Structure 1
Amino acid sequence: MTQIGYADRIRMLEPPKGRVRCVLDTDTYNEIDDQFAVVQMLLSADRLDLQAIYAAPFHNARSENPGHGMELSYDEILRLLTRMDVEPEGLVFQGVRSYVGPEKVGRDAPAVEDLIGRARASSTADPLYVVAIAAISNVASAILKAPDIIDRIVVVWLGGDALEWPDTREFNLCQDVGGAQVLFDSGVPVVLLPCLGVVSHLLSSVPEIERHVEPHGEIGKFLAQRYKEHSDDHVGWSKEIWDMAPVAWLLNPDWCESVITSTPVLTDQV
C-alpha cells in the first residue's frame, strides 16, 4: 500500500488554491440535494474544473436495489445536464452496481476506471479532488483496485455524523460500511463533512427556494420542483441540502470551520 508522509498529508488537507481539478461522485436520485450540488459545481467553473460525474449506487424506497439506484442517478444527472445545455458524453459515467461490502471487494464500473485513470495522471503536488456525496463504493473500489492512487487524490466526503455523535448510522456511510472502512483505513487524505451535528445546520425552505432558485431558468424551476416534491406540507417546513456542503468547502473554505484530526477507526457496530 502506498504511504503518504506526514508533511505531504497535512499539505494535501489544506484548502486548495486556484482552480481545482475535481470529480463528483453522486447518488443523484436518492433525494433532492445532490441535484443542487451538481448544479452548483457546474455553475462554478471559475473555481472548479469539474472533469467527471460518477453515478453512485443507493438503495431505499426509491430504488429496487443498489444497481437500480445507480441507474436512476445516472438518468437524473442527464436530466440536469440537459436543462443546463451541457454535453454528457465523456463527462458522466455509470458507477458500480454493488457495494464493496464487508468482503471489501473492489467492483468494476466505468466510473471506477475513469477515476483510476484521472488519479494516476495526478500527483501529490497536484492532487485530484474527489467530491463524494453518496455511499463511497465507487471511490473505495478504485482504491482497492489501484492502491497507488491514494497519494494522488483528496477525498471530500459527506458521510457519517459528527465524531462525538453517539452513533454513525448515517445513510451514505451505512449503505456501504465496508467501503467506508476501506476509505478510512487506506491512508488517503479525507476531508470529512459529517451530517448530524455539522451539515444538518445547512437548511433551506420553500420561500427561500422560490425567491432565490426558482426564477433562474429551466434548471431553477427543476430544482424548485424537486425540493417542493419532498414534502406535502410546506408550512413551517425546512429541509437540509446536505450535499452542497462538500462543494462549498472547495469553493470557499472560510464558509465552514475545519480542524485536523486523526482518521476515525470505523467498526462494524456503527
Structure 2
Amino acid sequence: MKSIKNLLFVCSCVLLLVGCEQTTPTRISVIFDSDTNNELDDQNALAYLLFNQQVFDIKGITTCATYNGGDIDSHYNEALRVVKLCDQENEVNVIKGANNNFDQIKTTISKANFDGYEAVNFIIDEAKKIKGEKLQICAVGKLTNIALALVKAPEITDKIKVIWLGSNYPDKGEYNQENDVPSVNFVLNTNVEFEMLPCRYGALTGTDGVKIYKATIQEKIAGFGVQLNTTVKGRDGRDYTNFGDYAVTLFKNAEYYLDPPSHALFDMVTVAIMKNPKWGQKTVIPAPVIKNGVWVDRPNNTRKIIIWENYNADKMLDDFFTTLKYPHLTAFQ
C-alpha cells in the first residue's frame, strides 16, 4: 500500500510539473520598426516594449527615415539612445534601414548595399528563423523596410505578421502613410498577415484617442525606468540617467491640443494592443487600396486585413505608466 501511495505521489508531482510547463506563457517574437526621431511617441512606444520583456521576445529594432526626423543616422541614433536609457544596449540590436522610399529603392535590391539593406536583410533572416509561429513586426513609421523585405524574399510572406500604426482609414491623410504610399499599397496587395491601427486625428475611435494630459506628465513619467550608473546624452545635449526624465524633455517641446491640453501617444497603442488585444476592437475587412491619396474599398477582395479601433485608453495608459515605474527587462520576471 505504501508503494502505491508513493507512486501516486510521484505521478501527481509529474502532472503538476507538466501542467506548470504547459501554462508558461510564450513570449511574442517581435521586431520594432520605427522612425524613432520623428516626434516623441516612437520613443515612448520603444521604452514600453523594452520594459515588457516578460511579454515580448525582442529580436531587434529596425529604423527608417521620415521627413520630420532627419536622415537615417538621426533615427538610428535616437533609437540607440532609448535602448541605452532602458539599459538594453548590450541586449537588443539597433539596425539602420531605408532613407528613401519604396519606389526609389525597389529596383536596386539586387545590389549588396542598397538603401536600407541592413534592416531589410535582418527582417528576412529573423523571419526565416521562426518555427511554429510568426515573427511580428510592430511598424510605427513608413512601411518601406517591410515592403522591400517582401520584394526581396517573398517566401517570408507566411512567416511574418505586420501590425502597423498608420493611416486615418477610411479618411485620407496621415504622416506614416504619406511618407511612402507605394509601400502601403504593396503590402496591402500581398498575402502577408496585416493589421492596421488608424490614427484618425481628432476622433476618439483611433489611436489619437489615447492621450496623455500635459498636467500629469511630470507625475506619471519623470524619474521612472531603469536607473543607470552612467549618463546618456539626449538629443538636446543634456545628460540623463533614466528614460523617464528624457521623455519629459520630449514632451516639453510637443504641441498640445484640446482643453485640458493633451498629446496622443499613437505608437504606444500598437505595443499595447499586441500585449493585450482585449484593449481594442478589431474588424476584418477586405484589403482596400490608396488611389490619388484617397482610400478605395474593394468589397470583393478575397485578401483580408484587420482594422483596430475603439481602444480602452484608461487601461492602456495605466499599464504604460505602471510599466515605466516597474520595468521588466527579462522574461517572466
Q: Does 1:222 align with 2:246?
A: yes
Equivalent residue of 2:39, what SS? coil
- In structure 2, relative to structure 1, the CA distance for the partners of 1:241 and 1:232 (3 Å cut) is closer
Counterpart code for 1:144: V
5+ residue gaps, structure 2: 1-24, 110-114, 226-241, 295-333
- In structure 2, relative to structure 1, the CA distance for the partners of 1:102 and 1:266 (3 Å cut) is farther
Counterpart code for 1:153: I
Equivalent residue of 1:224, what SS? helix
Task: Please tell me whether the aligned partners of residues 177 and 268 of structure 1 are also in contact (alpha carbons under 8 angstroms).
Answer: no
C-alpha distance in structure 2 between counterparts of 1:213 and 1:18, whole Å: 29
- In structure 2, relative to structure 1, the CA distance for the partners of 1:151 and 1:30 (3 Å cut) is same
Match of 1:237 among 253, 261, 265: 261
- In structure 2, relative to structure 1, the CA distance for the partners of 1:102 and 1:265 (3 Å cut) is farther
- In structure 2, relative to structure 1, the CA distance for the partners of 1:202 and 1:72 (3 Å cut) is same
C-alpha distance in structure 1 between counterparts of 2:196 and 2:179, whole Å: 17
C-alpha distance in structure 1 between counterparts of 2:54 and 2:105, whole Å: 41
Equivalent residue of 2:89, what SS? coil
Q: Tell me how far 1:130 sits from its aligned partner.
A: 0.4
Say which one has the larger Rg.
2
Q: Tell me how far 1:99 sits from its aligned partner.
A: 0.6
Equivalent residue of 1:114, what SS? helix
Equivalent residue of 2:59, what SS? strand
Equivalent residue of 2:189, what SS? helix
- In structure 2, relative to structure 1, the CA distance for the partners of 1:86 and 1:267 (3 Å cut) is same
Partner of 2:39: 31
The correspondence of residues 10-159 of structure 1 with structure 2, limited to 5 A, is 18-60=26-68, 62-63=69-70, 68=71, 70-87=72-89, 91-101=93-103, 105=107, 107-123=115-131, 125-159=132-166
With the length of structure 1 as denominator, give the TM-score of the two structures: 0.84
Q: Tell me how far 1:235 sits from its aligned partner.
A: 7.9
Counterpart code for 2:137: V
Match of 2:196 among 192, 196, 202: 192
Equivalent residue of 1:258, what SS? strand
Identity of paired residues, percent?
A: 27
Task: Please tell me whether the aligned partners of residues 102 and 178 of structure 1 are also in contact (alpha carbons under 8 angstroms).
Answer: no
CA RMSD of aligned residues (A): 2.1
Equivalent residue of 2:168, what SS? coil
Task: Please tell me whether the aligned partners of residues 83 and 92 of structure 2 are also in contact (alpha carbons under 8 angstroms).
Answer: no
Match of 2:283 among 259, 262, 268: 259
C-alpha distance in structure 2 between counterparts of 1:253 and 1:240, whole Å: 19
Equivalent residue of 2:266, what SS? coil
C-alpha distance in structure 1 between counterparts of 2:276 and 2:129, whole Å: 26
C-alpha distance in structure 1 between counterparts of 2:271 and 2:105, whole Å: 31
Counterpart code for 1:82: K
Task: Please tell me whether the aligned partners of residues 25 and 56 of structure 1 are also in contact (alpha carbons under 8 angstroms).
Answer: yes
5+ residue gaps, structure 1: 1-16
- In structure 2, relative to structure 1, the CA distance for the partners of 1:45 and 1:135 (3 Å cut) is same
Render the CA deviation track for 1:73-104: whole Å, top value 9, x for unaligned.
11111111222221257611000121103785
Aligned residues: 244
C-alpha distance in structure 2 between counterparts of 1:153 and 1:232, whole Å: 36
| Higher mean displacement: 93-102 or 243-252 | 93-102
Counterpart code for 1:186: T
